[in-house]
Amino acid sequence: MKKLIQKANVLIEALPYIRNFYGKTFVIKLGGAAQKKDELLHAFAEDVALLNFIGIRPVVVHGGGPKINAMMKRLGMKPSFVHGHRVTDPETMDIVEMVLGGLVNKEIVALINSKGGRAVGLSGKDGGLIKAKKKKLKLGLGDDMDKALVDLGLVGQVTDVNPEVLATLDKDGFIPVISPVGVGAKGETLNINGDDITSAVAGSLGAEKLIYLTDVEGVKDKKGKIISTVSKARAKRFISSKTIKGGMIPKVNAALDALKNGVSKAHIIDGRVPHCLLLEIFTPEGIGTEITS
């Protein structure tokens, strides 16, 4: 009986959060960490289905870099990167679109549906969801030096999001699952960073939360301790002081852009923890870092 009462207490603890978030939109980026193990993917799919059942509106954006690399190597191609950005020629773009839209996306959709959810797979090309322009990477040292522009090929940056297709799906209770490609002004397919698409989609929907599932525990201070809550202003200071550095910088900047565009809170959490979504959303402590406006 004691164990049953404990289970009831867990549900009661979650009640205020369920009440506060009912009818709100959460945009979730499923990073590579949570895609590496089947049990983590299953736990993620269960979390998303549960959110949907209790009246929260999840929108999922996913990546798939490791699987793209693996497919390229199987085909005898060598992935090429410049400062972490994939150089994407037309042949590589075909593989990116095939893997993201045809393999990774459908795997996630099928898993969510197997847990009772009603997921629908999309790319940024569907319904004109993600419009983009070609992105050129600036390389250089210091603010006063000329910065060389590197052409990354068919790599894009978001210029506009049309949320109508997402609103239509949401109205009928479907869960959108978006692969990170968009369409350029001439109809060309562009490979876009998943974090940037997640931020842009969250801003266009006025989401309650943007949540990044990553391969780290959260934002850490210089002593390596997780920072549970940080304001926009403090996060900018942490970037300036190099407390936040490396691959965490673009993720935090994407979160700050989303907050600027009306998202209430952004979360960076460890996707290697089973049911990390529920632990972050429905417990007072959380397990990662929340960035507030």
pLDDT tens, position by position, 70-83 = 999 999 999 988 87
- Is position 251 annotated as part of the catalytic site? yes
pLDDT tens, position by position, 123-132 = 999 999 999 9
Q: Is residue 2 one of the residues assigned to a domain?
A: no
CATH (domain of 93): 3.40.1160.10
Active-site residue (options: 31, 47, 63, 195):
195
pLDDT at 193 over 80: yes
Query: Could you tell me the CA-to-CA distances from 44 to 126, 150, 242 in Å, in that order?
Result: 24, 37, 32
pLDDT score for 4: 67
Q: Is residue 125 one of the residues assigned to a domain?
A: yes
- Is position 156 annotated as part of the catalytic site? no
Active-site residue (options: 47, 251, 257, 265):
251
Q: Is residue 17 one of the residues assigned to a domain?
A: no
Domain total in the chain: 1
- Is position 29 annotated as part of the catalytic site? yes
Active-site residue (options: 32, 127, 128, 184):
32
Q: Is residue 10 one of the residues assigned to a domain?
A: no
Please give the residue range of the domain that contains residue 73. 25-284
Q: Is residue 261 one of the residues assigned to a domain?
A: yes
Q: How large is the average pLDDT for residues 167-186?
A: 93
Active-site residue (options: 31, 64, 65, 182):
65
Q: Is residue 189 one of the residues assigned to a domain?
A: yes
Q: Is residue 19 one of the residues assigned to a domain?
A: no
In sequence order, the 6+-apart residues with CB closer than 8 A to the CB of 162 are 127, 128, 129, 131, 204
CB-CB contact of 102 with 119 (8 Å)? no
What is the value of pTM for the model shown?
Answer: 0.91
- Is position 73 annotated as part of the catalytic site? no
Q: Is residue 107 one of the residues assigned to a domain?
A: yes
